[in-house]
Structures are given as C-alpha cells and as structure tokens.
Amino acid sequence: MPRVRIGVSACLLGRRVRFDGGHKRQGFLTGPLADCVDWAPVCPEVGIGMGIPRPPICLVGNPERPRAVGVEDPTPDVTEPLLSFARRRVAFLGEISGYILKRNSPSCGMERVKVHDPVGTAVEHTGIGIFARVLMAARPLLPVVEEARLNDPASQEDFLTRVLVYHRWQGLTAVGITAGRLTGFHADHGALVTAHSQAACERMGRLLATLPEADVDAVACRYASELMAALGRRADGKGHATGPRYATGDCGLDIGSADKAELIGAIAAYRRGELPPIVPITRLRHYLRGHPDSCLRNAGRF
C-alpha cells in the first residue's frame, strides 16, 4: 500500500482535545494503518481558540444552516469562527486522499448530528457539523467517513479502497489527463468498479466512448464523479466475484483452461459463502506472476 495522506479528527488519534479533556482513540487508526498513512489531524474547536477543557457546544436552529452555541449558556456563538477556520483549514490540507470524521460532533459529524430548536424543546437528528459541511462541499469527490462506520474489516477495506483509487486519480490529474491516460485508468480499474456497480462501469465505458471528440476535461470530471459514487456502494459477495470474472473473461486473459476452471470454481464457491475472499484473490495473484495483465493485476490488488 502506498503512503497516503488522510485528514482525521484529532481526538480519534488519541489526542486529548475534546471538550472534557478526553479523547476517542481508535485502535484501527493508530495500529498497523499508521505505518502507511500520513495523518493530517484537525480539531476545529481547538483551532478557533477554545480551551481544553471547555464548555460543550451544540447545533441550534435550521438544520441546513445551524448555529453553533454553548449547551449550558447559549450566549457564546462560535458559528462564524468555525466557518472561517474550516474554509482556511480545508484549503491548507492540500492533497489529502480521504478524511475520517468524529461521529455526532457539532463541528465534525458528517450526518445525523443533533440539531436543537431555539427554545430547546425538540431535537432533530438531521444536521451536519460546521467543519464537515465545508469540507464535503469544497471536496465532493474526497472519500469521507465517520469513525463509527469503520468498526468491521469489510467497512475498513471499502474505505481504504476508495482512498487508494482516489489517490491514483490525484496522481493522474497531477501528470495531466489525456484521452489515452483516462482510457488506461479505466482499463486498470474496470474490474474493481464492476464489483461495486456493473451499471456504473457500463456508463463510464459509454462516456469514454465519446473520446477523443468530446472535451477531455469535461469527460474526466463526469468520469470521476461516476467512479467515486460507484466505489461508495458496498459490494457484496456477488459483486466482489464479478471483478475476478471480469479479469478472466472480459480482459481476454488466457491462463489455460484447467487453471481458469479452477479459478472460476473458487470464485463460485466464494459467492456461495463456502470460501473466504482471500482464496480467489490468492489464486489471481498466483496467476499474475506468469501473466502480467493489467486487468488481472487490479482485480487481485484489493
């Protein structure tokens, strides 16, 4: 796994920046993953000068445009400082390839954050944290997730897959997107996209068919939106099995009839729940050593 840079709510790394002086350390983030990730920790509330510990804040008012005020004393309103900090910090983050946010935080929560009515008699769970809203609006393609959604290996793998693909997309845009490079990128990632959404992969293929007549930058923009939306869908066993089938069939890979039958049998057993996914993936990687095909390489990479 290449080193990638990921933004993160600082409390999730064990930093004592919460309103009560505590933290919400996540072992998944500070364990082996830390060896291949450059973290960009942020605590918006500390960033605007609020102390540790400090009076807690909450969201109040219109869920689409809430105010951030004190819980016990609603007089302090830190909405504008938080917005100003968020705009500056999001721009300063540079080329991050993902972001992990703290659930339920009035500054960092990405969904279902509590929003109180002005008189405190009702609560809606429909808000977005002040910082999180600015982040997601400024970087709509960026893989963003709350830490509570990373509590199982499958969810962690899905998020990291999105991060790695987005990291590669950033690399493609850095060298300059041409029709040939965009088509090559799709060839390398078609199996993976198919595993998450065959319909999306077909739409992306039709989009690329308009090249080179169409505006490459416009096509690339639409392609990237389709790509990240597709990877945001959970791939079940059937979907994950589609990628290896794509590699053995649609890519025209010839590994011999006996080997191909063995691989297809392992994929079918995985779909039935009789084998873990590592079995067909290991077979793909084995065949890769003798057949350096880009489709097979990317089908077995994740």
Q: What is the DSSP string of 139-205?
A: -TTS-EEEGGGGSSHHHHHHHHHHHHHHHHHHHHHHH---HHHHHHHHHHHHHHHHHH-HHHHHHHH
Q: Are residues 145 and 245 in the same domain?
A: no
Task: Judge whether 97 lies within some domain.
Answer: yes
C-alpha–C-alpha distance, residues 152 and 145, integer Å: 13
Task: Note down pLDDT in tens along the chain; length 302 residues.
Answer: 678 999 999 999 999 999 999 999 999 999 878 888 999 999 999 999 999 999 999 999 999 999 999 999 989 999 999 999 999 999 999 899 999 999 999 999 999 999 999 876 789 999 999 999 999 999 999 999 999 999 888 888 899 999 999 999 999 999 999 999 999 999 999 888 988 899 999 999 999 999 988 899 999 999 999 999 999 988 755 555 455 554 555 455 556 777 777 877 877 776 666 666 667 767 776 766 666 555 555 544 44
Identify which of 194, 224, 192 has the alpha carbon closest to the alpha carbon of residue 208.
224
Q: What is the pLDDT of residue 254?
A: 58
Q: Are residues 249 and 145 in the same domain?
A: no
Q: Are residues 18 and 122 in the same domain?
A: yes
C-alpha–C-alpha distance, residues 59 and 74, integer Å: 10
Task: Judge whether 81 lies within some domain.
Answer: yes
The residue among 88, 123, 150 that closes a domain is 150
For residue 175, the one-letter residue type is V
Task: Judge whether 203 lies within some domain.
Answer: no
Identify which of 36, 46, 151, 34 has the alpha carbon closest to the alpha carbon of residue 89.
46
* CA separation, residue 299 to residues 229, 251, 283, 296 (Å): 19, 11, 11, 5
The residue among 129, 150, 171 that closes a domain is 150
Task: Judge whether 23 lies within some domain.
Answer: yes
Task: Judge whether 184 lies within some domain.
Answer: no
Task: Judge whether 182 lies within some domain.
Answer: no
Task: Judge whether 91 lies within some domain.
Answer: yes
C-alpha–C-alpha distance, residues 18 and 51, integer Å: 9
Contact 220, 177 (CB under 8 A): yes
Q: Are residues 18 and 133 in the same domain?
A: yes
For residue 69, the one-letter residue type is V
Q: Are residues 250 and 144 in the same domain?
A: no
Q: What is the pLDDT of residue 238?
A: 53
Helix 278-290, helix 257-271: angle, nearest 10: 160
Task: Judge whether 161 lies within some domain.
Answer: no
The residue among 120, 150, 180 that closes a domain is 150
Q: Are residues 24 and 127 in the same domain?
A: yes
For residue 97, the one-letter residue type is S
Range of the domain at 72: 4-150
Q: How many domains does the chain have?
A: 2
Q: Are residues 13 and 136 in the same domain?
A: yes
Q: Are residues 38 and 145 in the same domain?
A: yes
Q: What is the pLDDT of residue 60?
A: 96
